Amino acid sequence: MYCFCYGDWMIFSFKKAHNRIVKNFSKRVLSLLVLMCVLSFASLYSIQSSAMMDDGEQSIGIGVNATRTPTAATPSSGEGKVVRVGWYEASYNYTDKFGRKTGIAYEYQQKIVTYTGWTYEYVEGTWPELLQMLMNGDIDLLSDVSFTAERAESILYPSLPMGTESYYIYVSPNNTELMSDDVSVFNNKKFAVNQGSIQEEILKDWARTNGITANIVEIIDQSNDESIDLLQTGDVDVFVSLDTYGRREECAPVCKIGSSDYYFAVSAQRPDILTDLDHALKTIQNEDPFYNQRLYQKYIWTFSTGIIFTKEERQWLENNSTIKVGYRDNYEPFCFEDDGYISGALKDFLEYASACVDGTVINYEAVAFGTTEEAIAALDAGEIDAVFPVNMSAYDSEEGDLFVTTPIMSTEIYALVRTGEDKAVFDAEGTRVVLLEGNVNFDNFVKDYFPEWEISWQPTLDKVYAAVENGTADCAMVNGYRINTNDRLRRRHKLSLLDTGEKMEFSFAVRRSDTILFSILDKTVSAIEEPVVDAMLSKYTNTTTKVSFSDYLRDNWAVAFAVTTVLVFLMLFLLLTRLKSDKMAQERQMLITATERDSLTGLYTRNIFFEYSSRMYRENPSNMMDAIVMNIEQFHVVNALYGWNFGDTVLKGLGDEIKKIIGGGAGIACRTTADRFEIYTKHIDDYQGLFDRFQRRLDECTEDVNIFLRMGVMPWHDGLEPVQLFDRARAACNMTRSGRHSRLVVFNEEMRTKEILEQRLLNDLKYAIENKEFLVYFQPKYNVQVDPPVIGSAEALVRWKHHELGMIPPGDFISLFEKSSQIGILDRYVWAETARYIAQWKEKYGKVIPISVNLSRIDIFDPDLEKTIEGIVEETGIGRENLHLEVTESAYTEGEEQILEVIRCFRSKGYHIEMDDFGTGYSSLNMLSRMSIDVLKLDRSFIKDIKGEDDDSKDVQMVELILDIARSLKLVVVAEGVETKEQMEFLKKRGCDLIQGFYFSKPLPADEFEEKAIKD
């Protein structure tokens, strides 16, 4: 039935297209005959425009075949049960403007029903009313219920939560009194909060902790929107709710007061559906561990709690009536001057930004400059306040004494190369790139992504393109949005486009002294959503570039008459052929094609493909069949650059090669979307060979264009059905990197297990910090220059005692947090815990042992680092000299001057600086002399192979050299990883000051270290 309906729809679509084509052909033929009589070359423009319109219309018909329909899950024993579900209007459940139910809870409930077979009856009310109804047994299921012991006595909870939510204090944007970091301003204020909710209990705890008297107004029968309205009327001062609530103009978040897991709660009278619910939730999580996160990203991240300006920012805007923005002229579609006024995406952006933050009106004045370099010079001179577009690294912005906002827009970057020579430009040594003078954005782009290239400059674009054509340069650069603008110039110089695989982001730049202006612009950028900016760019990207009649004739005079004549006769022939075709036979063929075969490639459509593959599996489940998924990299760009006909040629060529692979009954294949192919074929061993074969076919189809495949493979696995195989193959395909290598990934369970574990550890980081699962261990450093050796200091190390996984080795999470830029969160926790122990032992025993803590590269580049560490020292009351700061030698490899300045700043305040892992990284003797450090930590790699006094290895010589250098610089030396007496005696004899390692002590928990080092 489904196929029949789908086929009828396709017939209707093709009939409309057919009638439209016939009608257009007729009109075109008459027009061409008349125009040929008067021999007007202007007819060529009409022909081109009509051809472009036809291509667009036919493309719409082709795109219909990409429709995808999800498959249903197998219901559990709960099928047929009626479940009464509480419905409340909020971000988790809401009705859109078309009257459709939607929201994270609603979609989750629909997912659950695919495994339970339930039938829902919706009962409406406010959340507090529905919670009471759940407790009374008047409804069976309610979403977004946090766990409390009291509630657990009257309602049932499943074993898995829906997710974790945070709770915030909201105030009216007009109530500037309460927009303060000082929480005492909330004393004796009226707090509106849902009666019986978890946020009410969290609010009370927060008030007690901060010494606040909170006058709580319990909300029972009002929606969240009605509660927010109480802020405007002044009936309450504060509204406490989830991080997803808030209306941009009517309320603003001030501070977070807590968080908790939330669940689908079940009536105590319906334990039967709790069993079904548990089964469904566990199955969903097992099949898709990231389902909750994707729902949260889809629905919750789209809710804005509003961005507001501070008092200082409002005052700045009052004192400065206009913000002058300098922009690069003639830079379509981003910014250009039109009749003396700014135009382009920047114009629309500034108009939108003028009142997008809490209703505050901002006046912008745009000033045009010939180049970005000229605009930056004007900014330095104080003639303007900001510059756009700017693409700068953190280092370049610092060197230029500038701040760069969050990116506003981004664009893909392409290399322009001589046709036929584009394959080797990225791999060749000494590639020469030519850039336009004054365009600092491309200068910075090449430095960031292709630092080995040789850069030269030309004053005009024509000379830039000519340099590539005549061979004085190997390539030039162009951004994706300007390809059409510069296309005539590119074709004139016979150049081809090659995707670099990288993007350039454009931001505002302001002087570093204008910190308030930077904050205003950054908030403005954050307040404008990405789809809005994309629409602005699309508006100007689609504008047709005007071409003069003389320009057109100069480019096409040799073929003008020939093209016109050929087009006339060709169109007449096609028209007569179409009119004579059998319409009924065409419709029948379309029906077959639409329901079973992809019209372009001849492969199966998606639904038919999975029907046949499932049937093949059921008939012979032991037949070893692999699942292969392929994507063409950035195929939408290929269509945009070279047209739909070119894209169709690529797809058809790849489809033909697939048919050769599966010929003779080896398997079946389909095209599921515009550029995705799925193959169900007999098991093979050489996946790389298969991938290379497909890539070669693409190269043959596109000699002057680089197009790359991505391929994921799930080998046959006993017991896995085709749908499960292709889920894993798609996951493998998605894991391929979008560079020029590693475009083939074969799925394995280790990959899946590691990915799930790492994601879980990242998800649990916040919980572990809040619940003190991270334990600080201390490894003593012994002073061996006294007899007997005594503990002189120690190093703080971290261990993770996970609430479910138990003790996790540091190697499993430290590098993961560093890679995901989350290490700073853990470091701050370790610093605070270490300082707390130092202060505790000092108060308890009157004794202090200095402890060293690690600073990562991320910490060093944190602008709040000094404030954070100083705050910890001040809060705990310890001396700065008691908290040693360890920086690894490899941290000096980038941003050297900034790192040295940070270290000098800390050392000037009295902190002891230790260089960790010395001898394994970047330092030179000259570099070492410039470092403001107190201690060198000799890396364990030099120690581990030393046998004793008679050892004359290179490691021994290196250790002796380092000790001599340290002695000459009056630096204390700590040797790490000392495990034997021979190693200890060797180091002691050569003047090493401190020794750390298992020979003396392994890392100890705080209580054992206290017993060993402090009490003694």
Same domain, 842 and 957: yes
Does residue 575 fall inside a structural domain?
A: no
- What pLDDT score does 578 carry? 73
Highest mean pLDDT among 548-552, 593-597, 806-810: 806-810
Same domain, 519 and 667: no
Same domain, 874 and 988: yes
Please name which of 307, 303, 312 lies closest in space to residue 180, comparing C-alpha atoms: 312
**880-924 pLDDT per residue, tens:** 999 999 987 666 656 678 888 999 999 999 999 998 877 665 454
**628-639 pLDDT per residue, tens:** 999 988 787 788
Contact between 626 and 715 (Cβ < 8 Å): yes
Element (H, E) at 910: none
Q: Which of 518, 544, 570 is the last residue of a domain?
A: 544
Same domain, 781 and 731: no
pLDDT at 855 over 90: yes
Does residue 127 fall inside a structural domain?
A: no
pLDDT at 185 over 70: yes
Q: In angstroms, how far is the first alpha carbon of the chain from the final one?
A: 84
CB-neighbour burial class of residue 427 (10 A; exposed 0-12, middle 13-18, buried 19+): exposed
Work out the pLDDT band at 925, boundaries 50, 70, 90. low
**367-398 pLDDT per residue, tens:** 999 899 999 999 999 999 999 999 888 888 88
pLDDT at 543 over 80: no
pTM over the 0.75 mark:
no
Comparison of pLDDT for 318 and 358, the residue scoring more: 318
Same domain, 798 and 932: yes
Q: Which tokens sit at 569?
A: 């006769």
CA distance linking residue 650 with residue 644, whole number of Å: 10
With the CA atoms of 889, 893, 894 and 899 taken in that order, what torsion angle do they form, in degrees rounded to the nearest 10?
30
Does residue 227 fall inside a structural domain?
A: no
> Domain containing 720 — which CATH number?
3.30.70.270
pLDDT (mean) for 426-445: 87
pLDDT (mean) for 657-669: 90
pLDDT at 991 over 50: yes
- What pLDDT score does 944 carry? 86
Same domain, 944 and 804: yes
CA distance linking residue 112 with residue 811, whole number of Å: 37
- What pLDDT score does 878 carry? 95
Same domain, 776 and 743: no
Does residue 549 fall inside a structural domain?
A: no
Contact between 457 and 437 (Cβ < 8 Å): yes
Q: Which tokens sit at 724?
A: 């499960």
b/e map 384-404, b = 16+ CB within 10 Å: bbbbbbbbbeeebbbebebbb
Highest mean pLDDT among 196-200, 704-708, 759-763: 759-763
Residue 765's identity, in one-letter code, is L
Residue 239's identity, in one-letter code, is F
> Domain containing 478 — which CATH number?
3.40.190.10
Task: Give 246-307 as a DSSP string.
Answer: --TTT-EEEEEEEEEEEEEEEETT-HHHHHHHHHHHHHHHHH-TTHHHHHIIIIITT-----
Same domain, 614 and 495: no
- What pLDDT score does 917 carry? 77
Does residue 276 fall inside a structural domain?
A: no
Q: What residue numbers bound the domain in which 610 lies?
A: 606-747
Q: Which of 544, 561, 577 is the last residue of a domain?
A: 544
Does residue 974 fall inside a structural domain?
A: yes
Q: In the block, which residue shows the tokens 């403005």?
A: 524
- Dihedral class, residue 430 (left if φ above 0, else alpha if ψ from -120 to 50, else beta): left
- What pLDDT score does 228 carry? 81
**767-789 pLDDT per residue, tens:** 999 999 999 999 999 999 998 99
φ/ψ (deg, to 5) at 753 = -65, -45
CA distance linking residue 836 with residue 778, whole number of Å: 13
**74-109 pLDDT per residue, tens:** 445 566 899 999 998 887 788 887 889 988 899 999
- What pLDDT score does 48 carry? 41
Q: Which of 714, 747, 780 is the last residue of a domain?
A: 747
**143-153 pLDDT per residue, tens:** 989 888 889 99
Same domain, 445 and 498: yes
Does residue 219 fall inside a structural domain?
A: no
Comparison of pLDDT for 677 and 41, the residue scoring more: 677
Same domain, 780 and 715: no
> Domain containing 825 — which CATH number?
3.20.20.450
- What pLDDT score does 770 carry? 94
CB-neighbour burial class of residue 127 (10 A; exposed 0-12, middle 13-18, buried 19+): buried
Same domain, 958 and 813: yes
Work out the pLDDT band at 530, boundaries 50, 70, 90. confident
**10-29 pLDDT per residue, tens:** 333 334 444 444 445 444 54
Please name which of 277, 272, 388 lies closest in space to residue 327, comparing C-alpha atoms: 388
**561-586 pLDDT per residue, tens:** 677 778 888 888 887 777 766 565 56
Q: How many domains does the chain have?
A: 3
pLDDT (mean) for 311-326: 87
Q: Which tokens sit at 985?
A: 């005696």
Same domain, 656 and 713: yes
Residues 6+ away with beta carbon under 8 Å from 689: none
CB-neighbour burial class of residue 1007 (10 A; exposed 0-12, middle 13-18, buried 19+): exposed
pLDDT at 676 over 50: yes
Does residue 451 have a cis peptide bond before it, meaning omega lies within 30 degrees of 0? no
Length of the chain: 1016
Does residue 136 fall inside a structural domain?
A: no
**192-231 pLDDT per residue, tens:** 998 878 888 899 999 999 999 999 998 887 777 787 888 8
- What pLDDT score does 62 carry? 28
Residue 301, Cβ neighbours under 10 Å: how many? 9
φ/ψ (deg, to 5) at 419 = -60, 130
- What pLDDT score does 321 carry? 83
CA distance linking residue 295 with residue 812, whole number of Å: 28
pLDDT (mean) for 412-436: 84
pLDDT at 292 over 90: no
Q: What is the mean pLDDT of the chain?
A: 82
- What pLDDT score does 70 carry? 35
CA distance linking residue 385 with residue 786, whole number of Å: 63
- What pLDDT score does 606 carry? 87
